[in-house]
Amino acid sequence: MAGWIDRALALADDDGPVRAAKLTTFQVVFLLVLGTEYWARAIRHGSDISAAYAVDLAAATVFCVGGLALARWRRVAFAGLALSHLFLVWREFPVTGNHAYFEMLLCVVCALLDPHERRERRLLLQSVRWMVVSILFYSGVHKVLYGYYFRGQYLAYALWMETFRPVLRLLLPSAEYERLVAYSRDVGQGPFLVDAPLFVATSNGVYVAEMGLALLLLWRPTRIAGVLGAVTMLLAIEAAAREFFFGLVFANAIALFLPGEPHRRLLEPVAFILAYLLLVRLGLVPEVIFH
């Protein structure tokens, strides 16, 4: 069993050795996103935040700042953040979003494994890559299992969310768009079935892309194509779903599939996006809807 698991883990290896800086910069980007996400959530709730969340926010802030400023204590900071996320999951259960579980798992492996130690660095890279592959693949599998993508049902239903409309409108004849937008999702309404070929093809393309990209990322010769495809799909999803923090955490993890140290180039744009999102929450720049 252990041998089989190790062979599976090795599928996510690089051809050559991996430098510690690749993983440490990944961790820096991750800490920046986590810290900003905690504060963006707190600002959104304003004075309504509970005492428990305020304590959690204070602890998470200390861990994020400590982890960024003191590299030697970074694993301790990740351990603290894993506990902080565990608290959030427990407190919000079962409403907790999947991205909180993903972030918690990332914190756990970052707390457990030292990127400066060669063997642990390899395990860290393998485990984060497998998380990405698992999430992508099973996201596609779920869509096949429940059958809401074969005739565009889910995307038609998703038109009740304003952020989905500009994206999906491009794929629908105007009469069909007006019909679907008019539904209030009450019992008896429908059918949320669509005949527009482009819309149905896009709907079916979602799960095909998710499962296919997972395999492309895992197989070394197609890894770059997998990264390009995954980032393109993530951008398309975020244009509608607007879960920017999950998008940034996931993009950061996807970048680990690239050779070299891509996170160095990610650092500045990510910091800019995060600063902008905080300014939006503070009401200092024009509103952008995100969750």
Minimum Å gap between C-beta 137 and other proteins is 8
Which residues make Cβ contacts (< 8 Å) with residue 48, sequence separation at least 6?
A: none
Place of tokens 């149905």: 200
* C-beta neighbour count of 6 within 10 angstroms: 10
Minimum Å gap between C-beta 90 and other proteins is 13
Cβ closer to other proteins: 117 or 282? 117
Cβ closer to other proteins: 22 or 121? 121
Cβ closer to other proteins: 39 or 245? 245
Q: Which positions lie near other proteins, rule CB under 8 A?
A: 2, 5-6, 8-9, 94-98, 101-102, 105, 108-109, 112-113, 117, 119-120, 123, 126-127, 130-131, 134-135, 138-139, 141-143, 145-151, 153-154, 156-158, 185-193, 241
* C-beta neighbour count of 212 within 10 angstroms: 17
Q: What is the 3-state secondary structure (H, E, C) of 1-41?
A: CHHHHHHHHHCCCCCCCCCHHHHHHHHHHHHHHHHHHHHHH
Q: Cis ω on the peptide bond leading into residue 94 (within 30° of 0)?
A: yes
Cβ closer to other proteins: 95 or 175? 95
Minimum Å gap between C-beta 135 and other proteins is 5
Token code pair at residue 245: 């923090």
Cβ closer to other proteins: 129 or 281? 129
Minimum Å gap between C-beta 259 and other proteins is 22
Minimum Å gap between C-beta 169 and other proteins is 18
Q: Are 267 and 28 in contact (CB under 8 A)?
A: yes
